[in-house]
Amino acid sequence: MTAVRLVLGHDGGTGGGDGAGEAADLAAFLGRLVRWDKAAVVRLRSARDEPALGVFGHPPFGGVLAVRSAALRGAEALAAAVDATVSAGQLLEVVTAAPEGFELPPSVTGPAWAGLLPPRGGWRRMAEFDPEQVRKAAAEAVAEFRARTEELPQQERTRAVLDALAEELWTRPYQGTTLRVVHAAHALGFLRGDGEDTFALLAAGPWTRLRTGYGSVAVRRESPAAGLTFSPA
């Protein structure tokens, strides 16, 4: 792909925009992915004249996709259609080094999940949630995991036992989705509490996603004809 210089931020009619804020939020998202997996990759996607870059990651939370949108500005960025899979760590480096504008790092061979992304459009609003209730559900689930872990004798706190406990908790249903999605949104920093009126649960085809003002967590229902699938359960 021809090198394209991306500039983050919203155009304000004079070429301005809060690019530093966009870069900081994107860097925080990438930093979480890299902290969990130093070899993490992200899929990047935008259409020509689309003022936003979709950034997709695969955190280690049992088959969910993390989706973050970064606003773009500038003629070059808007004229380009971006479709690339890159190292999350390398992207973090260039965004941190040059938040005012950067070129994408080289593309890498993407894992299977990067070839099956949620659709761009066609989403239906299924439900709206009070953010405080979602944050409460996340906090209670995390607290229960910690309490039940502490109740285990030290010799029983094996990876297999802890994984089974996590699976029991995160597969519990929650208002049309599961606590796995709520927990992932919490861990990714998508449930921050500074002014969001509602969170929304959206659906499109086999996909559902929990959307907040800071990003989305998407899961794909199992379908025998769909090949690679992500299951919320």
**Segment 112-171, tens digit of pLDDT:** 999 999 998 999 999 999 999 999 999 999 999 999 999 999 999 999 999 999 999 999
pLDDT at position 193, please?
A: 74
pLDDT at position 228, please?
A: 32
Residues contacting residue 109 through CB under 8 Å, at least 6 positions apart:
85
3-state SS class at 111:
coil
Q: At what angle do helices 159-170 and 179-187 cross, to 10 degrees?
A: 110
Only one residue has tokens 């998202």, namely 29
Assess whether 148 and 82 both reside in one domain: no
Give the separation between CA 92 and CA 16, rounded to whole angstroms. Answer: 23
> Is the distance from CB of 104 to CB of 90 less than 8 angstroms?
no
Q: At what angle do helices 19-36 and 88-97 cross, to 10 degrees?
A: 150
How many CA within 13 A on the CB side of residue 101? 12
Domain count within the chain: 2
Last residue of a domain, one of 96, 115, 134: 115
Assess whether 108 and 169 both reside in one domain: no
Give the separation between CA 172 and CA 30, rounded to whole angstroms. Answer: 28
pLDDT at position 39, please?
A: 95
Assess whether 109 and 9 both reside in one domain: yes
Inform me whether the pLDDT recorded for 233 exceeds 60: no
Assess whether 71 and 129 both reside in one domain: no
pLDDT at position 196, please?
A: 61
Quote the Cα angle for 163-217-158, to 5°.
10
Q: How confident is the model at residue 64 (pLDDT cuts 50, 70, 90)?
A: very high
pLDDT averaged over the chain? 86
Assess whether 31 and 74 both reside in one domain: yes
pLDDT at position 17, please?
A: 54
Mean pLDDT, residues 97-114: 90
Give the residue numbers spanning the domain of 94: 5-115
Q: How confident is the model at residue 87 (pLDDT cuts 50, 70, 90)?
A: very high
Residues above pLDDT 70, as percent of the chain: 86
Last residue of a domain, one of 115, 138, 155: 115
pTM: 0.86
User: Quick check: is 227 in a domain?
Assistant: no
Assess whether 174 and 98 both reside in one domain: no
Mean pLDDT, residues 32-45: 96
Assess whether 149 and 187 both reside in one domain: yes
Assess whether 110 and 133 both reside in one domain: no
